[in-house]
Amino acid sequence: MPSLLSHPAIPLALGLGLGRGLIPPRMLVAGILFSVLPDLDLLFGYVGWAETGIFAHRGFTHAMIVAWAVAVFFAGFARYLHGSIVTAFWLLFLSMGSHGVLDAMTNGGAAVALAWPFSQERLFFSFRPIEAIPQDFSLLLSEKGLEVMASELLWVWLPVLVAALLLRLLVRPGSRRRLAGGGTAS
Ligand SMILES: [Zn+2]
């Protein structure tokens, strides 16, 4: 996986690009949590559920349909996230769904069950520039850690920052207010 610090880049970019009127702080925090949620499957290993199959790391919790279903469910609580159902759905879906996509762009670790349950096949994209973090976390304190960090800055943080700035330029404040249901367009 990219490190747990890099998955939140997606919701943070959406928050930065769309502004707090559309993505209020509470919704942004939810997006950050949802962006790392798929890796809870690491716990399955601790309780000995499965070494292989859909419960193994990067299994069903990384599937796009699961991100969709979880986002549909929690968008129902949009009021508690201080935003609209539509923005809550998209933020949560993109935050959680992007996790598997980023994992499938890493150059190591297990392949990803992105298309489960429609396909049991685990996938990697052919374009895999993101340095996978080593199994032995202590290596992160060595030169390998710097390599991983540099790779994530280049292939995750830089592109999403550019995308956020473009969103900021393209979505005018009036549109943002209208989308948020908070007023008329300027
Ligand atoms: Zn993952």
Of the listed ranges 4-8, 80-84, 142-146, the one predicted with least confidence: 142-146
CA 17 – CA 165 distance, rounded (Å): 6
Q: Are 17 and 163 in contact (CB under 8 A)?
A: yes
The proportion of the chain whose per-residue pLDDT surpasses 70, expressed as a percent, equals 88
CA of 109 to the centre of ligand 1 (A): 10
Domain boundaries of the chain, sorted by first residue: 9-177
- 58 CA from centroid of ligand 1 (Å): 6
Q: Residue 166 pLDDT > 60, yes or no?
A: yes
User: Nearest-CA neighbor of 29 among 49, 50, 15, 43?
Assistant: 15
Q: What is the Å distance from ligand 1's center to 132 Cα?
A: 11
- Distance, CA of 43 to CA of 109 (rounded, Å): 16
Query: Has residue 158 got a pLDDT over 60?
Result: yes
